[in-house]
Amino acid sequence: MTDTTMQQAPVPGAPRLPQVNLLPPDVRARRRVAFARAWLALAVLVVVLLTMVSAVSVSWEKKSAESELADIQARNDSLLHEQAKYAEAPKVLQELKARESARTVAMSTEVLWSPYLAAISSATPLEASIDALVVSEDTVWTGSQTYAAGPLDTPGTVGLVSLNGKALTLGAVSDWQDALSALKGIADVNVSSVQLNADNGTTYYAVTATFKVTPDAFANQFVTEQ
């Protein structure tokens, strides 16, 4: 029969029996050192990992910034290139504007005489004819050559036309004067001389008249509407 040591079972709720650590002090010291080394190694590993992550992040941000800077520089170079292409545009536009202004001033007194002469011819009665027309027109360079000689004359006229012609009757002379006065751009029609003449048995009246041209006769081809 084998001897066995009977141990009393612990009673629930009773305090535990005091325990004694029987390990030698040097063993306990080595265990504490090993435990401390393990934590130190873990801390170093964490620091290394954080350093690597930080380095990767900084490197990525640097590359991203360099790429963005390169894009901005490329766009800036493109804009400078486009700007150089149109550098002459303001100068050309200024010259064009100056030429247009000069043309507007130079042509401001232009009268399209072809339709006006046709209108004057149409205003001539069948019993009359025009022998000669002499036109004296104001220009930018000559200035005004006509003026209102009396209170009944039209102010601001810009030209003077002298007419020599023939009329078979005095009534035709009167009708002629009225027809000329009705034309746009014509004012102050004045029949200054009516002389009875005869030629090859035909009696007629030699007519001398003048009338003035008003600004309504200007063509205004180069005037920009506001």
Q: What does the pLDDT look like over 28-51, one tens digit per residue?
A: 677 777 777 788 888 888 888 888
pLDDT(6) > 50? no
Q: Are 176 and 188 in contact (CB under 8 A)?
A: no
Which pLDDT band holds residue 141 (cuts at 50, 70, 90)? very low
Nearest-angstrom CA–CA distance, 216 and 112: 11
What CATH number has the domain spanning 113-217? 3.30.70.2830
Higher pLDDT, 123 or 26: 123
The answer on pLDDT for 56 being more than 90 is: no
Output the CA torsion sign for 103, 106, 109, 110. negative
- Find out whether 188 and 212 touch, Cβ atoms under 8 Å: yes
Does residue 207 contact residue 128 with C-beta atoms inside 8 Å? yes
What pLDDT digit, counting tens, does each position of 155-193 carry? 667 788 899 999 999 999 999 999 999 988 888 899 999
* Nearest C-alpha neighbor of 167 from the set 214, 106, 208: 208
pLDDT digits (tens, 9 = 90+) for 104-121: 555 556 667 778 888 888
Supply the mean pLDDT for the chain: 76
Q: How many CB atoms lie within 10 A of CB 174?
A: 14
Return the ∠ at Cα 42 (arms to 39 and 45), rounded to 5°. 155
Answer whether 28's CB lies under 8 Å from 21's CB: yes
3-class DSSP state of 112: coil
